[in-house]
Amino acid sequence: MELNTKTTCEQENRLWEFCEPNQETVNKLMDEALVSRPIGLVLAARGVTTDNVQSFLHPDMESLGDPYVLPGSKAAAKRLWEAIQNNQRIMIFGDYDTDGITATALLEWVLKQNGAQVTCYLPHRIDDGYGLTAASIEKNVKGQCDLLVTVDCGITSYDAAAAAREINLDLIITDHHTPGQLPEQSGASTGEDLGKELPDEINKAFTGSVVVDPKLWEDKELEGIKDLAGVGVAYKVAAAFLKYGIENQLGGEKTDLREVLDLVALGTVADIVPLLNENRILVSQGLQVLSMQRRAGVHELCDIANVGDVLATSDITYRLAPRINAAGRMGDPTDSLRLLKADGVEQAKELAGILDRLNRERQTIEERVVAEAEEQIAERYPLGSPRGLDKVRSLVVWSNSWHQGVVGIVASRLTRRYHRPSVVLTRDASGQFTGSARSLRALNLVQVLDECKDTLLRSGGHAMAAGLSLSEENLEKFSEEFDEAVKKVLKTPESVRPTLSICGEVSFSELDEVFFQELKALEPFGHGNTEPIFITRNVMPEAPLRLAGRTHTRGWLRDADGTRIQFIAFSRMPDDFPPGPWDIVYSPHINRINDTEVPQLRLHDIRPASL
């Protein structure tokens, strides 16, 4: 697909970025997919081609690739079946967030369905820290199993892998994170040659172990699974396990992986990975299973979170995942795992209540930490002056007393508010400072933190979110190094301005009933496949604008052709609107009120019309 050069214009400190696709490309997509022009603009802006438009609009399970394509998955399947045949004990070691908890529940269910002896362990955020460590091997694993399987963690657990080798404990690493700085080790190959050799450094760090992580590979054939969440990798390993069992007459025939697609949807959406390729298929199908609420725990969680019968990705992001995460942030993540595994309504209701209470507690603590962080930002950074805004590219704040369970979400809020990569740190039980970093789409945190490795004790994660630890004496030095590394990528003041990526210009008459039906085919929306944004020029308000809630505005708009449509503008008061006419940037959606559905525009930005 050919795109014209992107152009930008500024309005209220935002950049409007126009993706102007070649009109011939749009026309071909419209013809191939039989869709309206606005949908054709969106597809072209997202890089969808005539070759893959049908699979994009109609994601189905048959389009999932062979699980063996993921390197290491067949070796993992073989070792799991050997454990079952030899009556060996398997322990699944997960993570304390929604992705890790759902991955743990998924793999445990599949293995138990096929006769495995399985236990699970989820680390406590404060007592154990993040991921599989040598201390966890000694404290929580040693003597408890013959085979240890990680989900959603482990790819940076080099010391833990060495500790496992020392006690002759077999290890399967399944993860989706990017490897961190590798130790200097030597050792033989894993011997699991499935047509691909592990990168040499990983091979040495995990000698004798099976490693499954799509982030290790650059092969084009893995593009569809490159961005799987931890639960997505666990799903592929489970699929490989069943395939291997059936091929070798070991079992697996009676296990239907469709029954765990709700878990895959929960973990994938919660971990904010791109909803494209196989993620798109798994979430699209998983939302259907999730909406059935077959699990007692899901049903009770939906009930206490006021979620309706038809779930969307936003329900996971804003209602379900925060409650599942609350256990790991504020208490014992095992409560969330027990909820997802609950058989009885009474147990599920009790656990859902616990998670809801923990989530409210988390919200209270979070608000206090955000306020204190913003006070620190006001003292340490000259954001109040135009020149200061130009100089500051990143934010690093810390405290001796902030709750470890909220630093990640606070970092996210600071990044959204100030539109800069943010790091939030707090002192942990060992006296070190541990925390989380959040980024903008243009900046890869893993690469930036790698440039600061001399000041860090540990780091790892994704391009957009990462964890890190450092000593107190390195706090100021790290702040400086981090900002310098960020400035190498975000070189100009414009690079830290919030950007609205506009798919194209449309008229209100094009946003008809057919369009809104077609819009559903673009779902599920989320990271990598956001709700489409359009621009309509020279529109006028109809009747006085009305206050909605305390800080929002709603009303009616009329475009140059006379077509009318409702709008809602969040965090913008009626007095904040300039005199009409306007050029507006917005996302069209259906506003559901009780049993009625009303087309509505969600305004993102507005400026006086360029007549």
Share of the chain above pLDDT 70, in %: 93
Picking from 387, 521, 393, the residue whose alpha carbon sits closest to that of residue 448 is 393
31 and 101, same domain (yes or no): no
Span 308-322, average pLDDT: 95
Kindly indicate the confidence band of residue 260, based on its pLDDT and cuts at 50, 70 and 90: very high
Please report which residue ranges of 48-128 form alpha helices under DSSP H: 53-57, 73-85, 98-113
Higher per-residue confidence, 488 vs 592: 488
| CA gap 166, 176 in Å, rounded | 26
- Of 383, 380, 384, 372, whose CA–CA distance to 413 is shortest? 372
Give the whole-angstrom CA distance, residue 106 versus residue 435: 28
Mean pLDDT on 596-603: 93
What's the domain count of the chain?
3
Note whether 588 and 461 are same-domain residues. no
107 and 235 in a single domain? The answer is yes
Q: What's the pLDDT band for 297 if we cut at 50, 70, 90? A: very high
Residues composing the chain: 611
- CA 261/CA 158 separation, integer angstroms: 31
Flag whether 320 is in a domain: no
The answer to whether residue 582 sits within a structural domain is: yes
Q: Give the model's pLDDT for residue 192.
A: 41
Burial class (CB in 10 A: 0-12, 13-18, 19+), 86: exposed
> What pLDDT is recorded for position 547?
94
For residue 414, being part of any structural domain is answered with yes
pLDDT tens track for 35-84: 999 999 999 999 999 999 999 999 999 999 999 999 999 999 999 999 99
Rg of the chain (C-alpha set): 25
* Mean pLDDT for the stretch of residues 91-96: 97
pLDDT interval class at 3 (50, 70, 90): very low
Q: Assign residue 575 the CATH number of its domain.
A: 2.40.50.460
Stated pTM of the model: 0.91
Residues 452 and 597 both lie in one domain: no
- List the beta strands (DSSP E) in 319-475: 395-399, 422-427, 433-438, 458-461, 465-470
Strand segments (E) across 191-301: 210-212
- Residue 490 to residue 498: CA distance in whole angstroms: 13
SS3 270: helix
pLDDT in tens, 446-465: 999 999 999 999 888 888 89
* Phi (first) and psi of residue 2, to 5 degrees: -100, 135
448 and 560, same domain (yes or no): no
CB 255 within 8 A of CB 116: no
Cα 179 from Cα 525, distance rounded (Å): 28
Judge whether residue 602 has pLDDT over 90.
yes
Shared-domain flag, residues 517 and 449: no
The pLDDT of residue 545 is above 50: yes
Q: Which helix (H) or strand (E) segment is 600 a member of?
A: strand 596-608
pLDDT grade for 389, boundaries at 50, 70 and 90: low
Looking at the fold, whether 477 and 529 belong to one and the same domain comes out as no
Does residue 227 belong to any structural domain of this protein? yes
| Mean pLDDT, residues 145-167 | 95
Asked, for residue 342, whether it belongs to a domain, the answer is: no
For residues 121 and 229, state if they share a domain.
Answer: yes
Per-residue model confidence (pLDDT) at position 333: 97
Looking at 462, 496, 530, which one is the last position of a domain?
A: 496
Instruction: Select from 496, 529, 561 the last residue of a domain.
Output: 496
What are 399's strand-pairing partners? 426
Mean pLDDT along residues 479-497: 92
Let me know if residue 297 belongs to a domain.
no
- CATH number, domain of 441, equals 3.10.310.30
Query: Closest Cα partner for 419 from 80, 112, 3, 13?
Result: 13
Q: Is residue 439 part of a domain?
A: yes
Do 444 and 584 share a domain, yes or no? no
User: pLDDT by residue (tens digit) across 344-354?
Assistant: 999 999 999 99
Q: Per-residue pLDDT for 188 more than 50? A: no
User: What element of type H or E holds 593?
Assistant: strand 582-593
Identify the pLDDT of residue 10. 37
DSSP bridge partners of 178: 461
Shared-domain flag, residues 92 and 168: yes
Q: Could you tell me which of 307, 304, 313 has the C-alpha nearest to residue 98?
A: 313
Say whether both 534 and 414 belong to one domain: no
Residue with tokens 């869709």: 35
For the chain, the average pLDDT equals: 91
Question: Which helix H or strand E contains 361, and what residues bound it?
Answer: helix 345-380
236 or 446: which leads in pLDDT? 236
pLDDT at 183 over 70: no
DSSP H or E stretch at residue 380: helix 345-380
Confidence of residue 99 (pLDDT cuts 50, 70, 90): very high
CB 520 within 8 A of CB 568: no
Domain that residue 530 falls in: 7-58+500-608
Decide if 374 is inside a domain.
no
Q: Taking residues 358-374, what's their average pLDDT?
A: 98
Distance CA 36, CA 15 (A): 27
Return the pLDDT at 593: 77
Please identify, among 208, 237, 256, the residue that sits at the C-terminal boundary of a domain.
Answer: 256
pLDDT over threshold 80, residue 193: no
What phi and psi, each to the nearest 5 degrees, are found at residue 172?
Answer: -115, 120
Instruction: Taking residues 482-489, report their average pLDDT.
Output: 96
Is the same domain home to 452 and 574? no
In terms of C-beta distances under 8 Å and separation of at least 24 residues, what long-range contacts does 116-120 make, across chains too? 116/80, 116/83, 116/84, 116/90, 117/87, 117/88, 117/89, 117/90, 118/90, 118/91, 118/92, 119/89, 119/90, 119/91, 119/92, 119/144, 119/145, 120/91, 120/92, 120/93, 120/94, 120/337
Helices marked H in 402-553: 407-418, 445-450, 475-489, 513-519
Give percent of the chain above pLDDT 90.
81
**Closest CA relative to residue 422, chosen from 402, 406, 408:** 408
Of 521, 450, 433, the closest CA to residue 488 belongs to 450
Q: Classify strands 465-470 and 458-461 as parallel, antiparallel or unpaired.
A: antiparallel
Mean pLDDT to the nearest integer, 138-166:
95
What are the φ and ψ backbone dihedral angles of 522, each rounded to 5 degrees? Answer: -80, -15
Q: How confident is the model at residue 13 (pLDDT cuts 50, 70, 90)?
A: low
Write the burial class of residue 401 (CB in 10 Å: 0-12 exposed, 13-18 middle, 19+ buried).
exposed
Q: Which residue has the higher pLDDT, 298 or 184?
A: 298
Q: What CATH number does residue 193 fall under?
A: 3.90.1640.30
Query: 507-544 b/e with 16+ CB inside 10 Å = b?
Result: bbebbeeebeebbeebbbbbbbbebbbbbbeebebeee
Question: In which band, very low, low, confident or very high, does the pLDDT at 387 lie, cut at 50, 70 and 90?
Answer: low
194: β partners: none
pLDDT at 411: 98
